[in-house]
Amino acid sequence: MPTVRDLREQAGDEPITMLTAYDAPTAAIVDDAGVDIILVGDSVGNVSLGHETTVPVTVDGIAHHVGAVSRATDDALIVADMPFLSFGVDEKDSLENAGRMLKEEGAQAVKLESGPHTIELTEKMAQLGIPVMAHLGLTPQHVNQYGGYPRQGTDQEAAERILELALAHEEAGAFSLVLEHVPSNLAAEITAALEIPTIGIGAGPDCDGQVLVVNDAVGLSEWSPSFSKQFGNVREEMKSAIDDYISAVESESFPAAEHSHEESDLDELY
Ligand code: KIV
């Protein structure tokens, strides 16, 4: 299992791979494939739970998914995404919520959607032994403030603010930084300025690693953002398997003899 320290070393040598997973079978596939980090993202809210945004995701909810993922993962580093308002309101609650992911659910680190309000908290968590992955640029928990999911860091002032926050979180002890939906040249500059690895999503090719939502990557999502890439077509595969199942039941070709057993010792009951 890579540790947060290994990732820092890997960053100079080969790109870090990270994918989300929310359940045990998906985590097992992602882990067997050799991904470095599994993020139990709060994207579970819109990807798997049918919510429009990540805002309704709760601590109990994410804990449930982190537990499922950790029980099925042998090698990847597991990062638990802290849900909206589960951190940053009250320090004690923030630490207990994050600590629960490590103590009870098997994560090795947490991710915080970051801003000026998470610098001290990141420092406190790092001091206590809770490794923090910071997240800057587009932070989807701010959807109601943004009014959507706009690109971030597109003017000089905003770009400088993101760089300053990135440096402040590194200084505070974050072990890595997700950069979401920012210009690729800004991501490249931040990557060059930091010693900790950057992991991009919609942030161009110059980050130290990349992350995608697994449902988008394998082609299970009905919709995915323009910066994502579909590497398979699981949705089509599933649909075709389900169509075949319906046809087989309707045509009575399933179940066949090999899918049933007859007990010769049973007397007729009816
Ligand atoms: O929740 C999530 O899946 C994320 C990634 C997209 C970075 O935060």
Span 197-228, pLDDT tens digits: 999 999 999 999 999 999 999 999 999 999 99
Calculate what percentage of the chain has a pLDDT beyond 90: 92
Q: How confident is the model at residue 12 (pLDDT cuts 50, 70, 90)?
A: confident
Among 105, 113, 170, 180, the one annotated catalytic:
180
Closest ligand 1 atom to residue 180 Cα is 7
Nearest to 65, CA basis, from 53, 52, 47, 84: 47
At residue 1 the predicted structure's pLDDT band, cuts being 50, 70 and 90, is: confident
Give the distance (Å) from ligand 1 centre to CA of residue 112.
Answer: 10
Among the listed residues 186, 24, 169, 29, the one whose alpha carbon sits nearest the alpha carbon of residue 111 = 169
Q: Which protein residue's CA is at the shortest distance from atom 1 of ligand 1?
A: 41
| Spatial contact of 79 and 108, defined as CB atoms under 8 Å apart | yes
The pLDDT confidence band at residue 8, using thresholds 50, 70 and 90, is confident
Kindly give the distance from the C-alpha atom of residue 117 to the centroid of ligand 1, in angstroms, as a whole number.
Answer: 19
Task: Find the mean pLDDT for residues 45-65.
Answer: 97
Ligand 1, pocket residues at CB < 6 Å: 20, 39, 41-43, 81, 178, 180, 201, 211, 213
CA of 44 to the centre of ligand 1 (A): 9
The pLDDT tens digits for 160-186 are: 999 999 999 999 999 999 999 999 999
Q: How much is the average pLDDT of 245-267? A: 94
Rounded to the nearest angstrom, the distance between the alpha carbon of 156 and the centre of ligand 1 is 25
- The DSSP secondary structure of the chain, one letter per residue, reads ---HHHHHHHHHHS-EEEEE--SHHHHHHHHHHT-SEEEE-TTHHHHTS--SSSTT--HHHHHHHHHHHHHT-SSSEEEEEPPTTSSSS-HHHHHHHHHHHHHTT--SEEEEE-SGGGHHHHHHHHHHT--EEEEEE--GGGHHHHTS------SHHHHHHHHHHHHHHHHHT-SEEEEES--HHHHHHHHHH-SSPEEEESS-TTSSEEEE-HHHHHT--SS--TT------HHHHHHHHHHHHHHHHHTT-SS-GGG----TTPPP--
Which ligand 1 atom minimizes the distance to the CA of 178?
7
Query: Between the CA of residue 85 and those of 49, 57, 154, 264, what are the distances in Å?
Result: 19, 10, 27, 61
The pTM (predicted TM-score) of the whole model is: 0.96
Question: Can 180 be counted among the known catalytic residues?
Answer: yes
Size of the chain in residues: 270
- How distant, in Å, are the alpha carbons of 84, 86, 210, 244, 270 from that of 89? 10, 7, 30, 51, 66
Residues 6+ apart with CB under 8 A from 249: none
Summarize the confidence of residues 90-95 as an average pLDDT.
Answer: 98
What pLDDT, on the 0 to 100 scale, is given for residue 105?
98
